[in-house]
Every structure is written in structure tokens, then in C-alpha cells.
Amino acid sequence: MNTHFPHRPSVLWRLFAAAGATLLVHGASLAADPVKIGYLIPLSGSATASIGKDMSRATHLAVKHINETGGIKALGGAQLALVEVDTRGDAKVAMTEVERLITREKTPVLLGAFQSGVTFPATAVAEKNRVPWVVDLAAKADITERGFKYVFRPTQIPASGNAESMAEFIDYAGKTTGKPAKTVAMVYENTDWGQDMANTLRAKFKAAGIDLVLDEGYPPNSPDLRPLVLKIKGKKPDVVTVTSYGADAVQLHKLLAQMRVGSTYVGSAAGQIDSTFIPLVGKDIASHVYTTNGWAGYESSITTPFAKKFWDDFVAAYKVEPNELSVSAYAAVWVIKDALERAGKAEPEAIRDALAQTKLEGTDLNKLVGYDIVIDAKGQNPQKRYVMQQITPEGQYRTVWPENLASKSYKMVWPAAQP
């Protein structure tokens, strides 16, 4: 028996060595470095802060869901880690923070920053540093019209697409009900986004033969919009289009109701879909508001376990229902996840190349957002579309156009009932 002893250590050593190698492999997998995402979003300091918080909630939830389901499998289960920055709605703050995120935090990909006036200059800093940026909801056309190679916009389209939907719906509603709008007052915040919206609406109304009786921009975060509402009232328009973020939209709609302007109001998928809008203006005022929306809502979209988990977890965590802003923010993180899986490495150039080849069609994510995500040569997703929703007396958003996505449980009221 002793003749076998000398061989035992080598056998045992081989066994231990093999087991150790296995443990090292698994340990490396478990200890894979997290992938940082530099996330810029307004959380304070401007009328967009409430929207920024809505989007931030959904972005964090997406990271949580991705990490809980195994992280980035192509990177050994690496977890995503948000490095969140409050831009305060200030382009200079954002540009400085982008430099910091790239040079000090070493983030290989950036996400944000919601506002066009912030996103437009900040993405130029990322482009200069050759770090990819996924735009969540900024709609200024020029963001993806500059020939940049590192800027991608998968869950939003230029503001012109939003404005086209507003004008087309007003024409559709008039023809469908036999009660066409003959006059429109157009008010908008005087920013890149607001001006882009106004330029398209102006042209569309002219082409449709609708008389634009008021065409007026205003400074965002205005403390008193009463003079503007008095101008609207004096024109007695059939329809008022309102392109405003949270606090401004709330102030405008309250004043429009208090001064009994008596028009139908069509919003632009901003302040009117902010989660604070209905609680702050009240259901009576909200029930005469239409708004475009980049998301068709619960009835049309929560049709899969993936979508239901998003909805249920969001409501449970934040005690409010998701809206287009939160859905788009949630989806943008999954687009980054998809790119990382295909890139196979957390390096800016590899992520950029993967983002440029993005083609998500027919997936659970596409069913949630309501459109395919295919990035074109400009870094844009031409598949994104807007719907029109009416806010019901019960305070619910119901899709009324286009007809193929319209709610089956709600019938459009046009002109809208007045409070």
C-alpha cells in the first residue's frame, strides 16, 4: 500500500489546482468590474426638475432590473452602476460634469440629459472625447443632425415629429367629428425645443388652412403668465396649443381655467404628462386637456410579463403610474445593455460601434414602448411615433389617435368638455 503514497500528493495537487482554477474563474465572474454609466438629468433648479425625477426613477429601476437578471452576461455578469449628476437645467454645469465623468470617473458611456438646451452642447463634449452618448428624450433636431458619430437617440425623435402629430390630430378630430378648429393660439417656451415645435406647428397650420391668431413664446420658469393668458383670451381661439414643461404648464392651465378661456387645449408630451400635472391642476381642469405622448399607455402596452413587471415595480416603488417620460428613460438603459452585450467589452469605441448597429425589433422592450428601435446613419431611430391622448374626468390618460392604437374603453370628446 505504501507504494501508492508517493503519488497521492501529485493527484491531490492536481485536484486542488483544478478546483482552484474553477473557483478563480467563478470568482472573476462574480467580481466582474461594474460598468459605469454617466447619467445627466435635471433634478433641481428648473421647471423640468419634476420630469427629471420621473425619468431618474425609471432609469434606476432599469438598472435594478438588469442587475437582478444577471447584469451584462457578455462581461461575466458585470453590474451596471449609475453615476448620476444633477444638471440643474444648466448647460454649463452639464458640460463641466461631462468632462469629469469622462476623465475622472472613466465612464465608457453617457446617458441623458432630457433638456435640448443642455443636451445639445453637452453631447459636443462627449463627441470631442469620443465617448458614446445615448440621448433619452431631448428633441432638438440638430442633436442628431451634426454628423456626430458618438451620439444616439433611440427613444426620441426631433420635436418636429411631435409637432406634426399635434397638428395632424387637430385636423383629424375636426374631420372625424364635423367640428373643425378654425383658429389656433400657439404658446410655447422660448427655448430650442419650444422654437422647434413652433416652427413645425406654424407650417402645418398654414398648410391645413387653420388661422393662427396668436404665436407667442415666453421665458421658461416665468413667475407670472397671466398677461399671456389674457392675450389668449382676447383672441377667442378654438384650440390652444401649449408647449411647456411642468411648472409652466401647471400655471398656464390653471390660469386658462380661472379666466374661462373656453378653448380646447392640446399639449406637447411635456408638462401635461408630468406625473405632478393632474395632482396640481386637479381633475376638473385636466379633463379638458389633450396631449401628445410618445407612449400609448397601459391598455396598448402592458401586454407581456416584462412590461407588467416594469409597471408593477414602478408603481410599488414610487406610488405613481409610469408615463412616456419614464418608459422612454427605462428603455434607453436597456438599449445600452443590448449594446454592451454585443460589444463584449466596456470600452467607448466598442460601445459606440455596437450602438450604431442597434436593431431591436419585436422584443418585449419594443412591445412596451410601442415601436421598434433601429438606429440609422444619423444616430436617430425613425421608428418612434407619437400618439394623442385625452385626459378623462377620472384623471386617466386614454389614447384617442391614431385609430389603430385608440383605447377601446374610451370615446374621444371633441371639442373637449370645459371645467
Handedness of CA 56, 58, 64, 66 (dihedral sign): negative
216 and 113 part of one domain:
no
Rounded to an integer, the average pLDDT of 331-357 is 98
Q: Is the domain of 365 the same as that of 397?
A: no
Q: Which three cell numbers stand for residue 30?
A: 462574480
Q: Give, for 139, the enclosing helix (H) or strand (E).
A: none
Phi, psi of 86 (to 5 degrees): -85, 110
Pair 242, 391 in one domain:
yes
Is 22 part of a structural domain of the chain? no
User: What pLDDT, in 10s, does the model give residues 387-417?
Assistant: 999 999 999 999 999 998 899 899 999 998 7
25 inside domain: no
What is the gyration radius of the CA atoms in the chain, in angstroms? 25
Provide the pLDDT for residue 155. Answer: 96
Q: Report the distance separating Cα 332 and Cα 338, nearest Å.
A: 10
* Residue 385 pLDDT level (bands cut at 50, 70, 90): confident
Same domain, 130 and 256: no
DSSP designation for 149? S
Looking at the fold, whether 282 and 370 belong to one and the same domain comes out as: no
> Parallel, antiparallel, or unpaired for β 151-152 and 183-189?
unpaired
Dihedral sign for Cα 293, 194, 111, 64, please: negative
- Domain annotation covers residue 15: no
Asked whether residue 394 is domain-assigned, the answer is yes
Residues 123 and 237 in one domain: no
Can you give the pLDDT at residue 50? 86
Residue 1 has pLDDT above 60, yes or no: no
Asked if pLDDT for residue 6 goes beyond 50, the answer is no
Give the count of domains, the chain: 2
**Within-domain flag for 411:** no
Q: Check whether residue 151 and residue 172 sit in a common domain.
A: no
Contact call for residues 411 and 390 (beta carbons, < 8 A): no
Residue 44 sits in a domain of what CATH number? 3.40.50.2300
Q: Tell me, what's the pLDDT at 23?
A: 42
Q: How many CB atoms lie within 10 A of CB 89?
A: 25
Buried b (16+ CB within 10 A) or exposed e, 143-156: bbeeebebbbbbbb
Cell of residue 157, nine digits: 425623435
Residues 272 and 397 in one domain: yes
Mean of pLDDT over the chain: 91
Q: Are residues 276 and 289 in the same domain?
A: yes
241 within a domain of the structure (yes/no)? yes
What is the domain extent for residue 356? 35-158+300-374
Residues 286, 305 share a domain: no
Interacting residues of 55 by C-beta distance below 8 A, sequence separation 6+: 41, 114, 136, 137, 325, 326, 328, 329
Report how far residue 196's alpha carbon sits from residue 280's, in angstroms, rounded to the nearest whole number.
27
210-227 tens-digit pLDDT: 999 999 999 999 999 999
pLDDT digits (tens, 9 = 90+) for 54-108: 999 999 999 999 999 999 999 999 999 999 999 999 999 999 999 999 999 999 9
pLDDT at residue 31, as a whole number: 56
pLDDT score of 45: 87
Res. 275 pLDDT band, cuts 50 70 90: confident
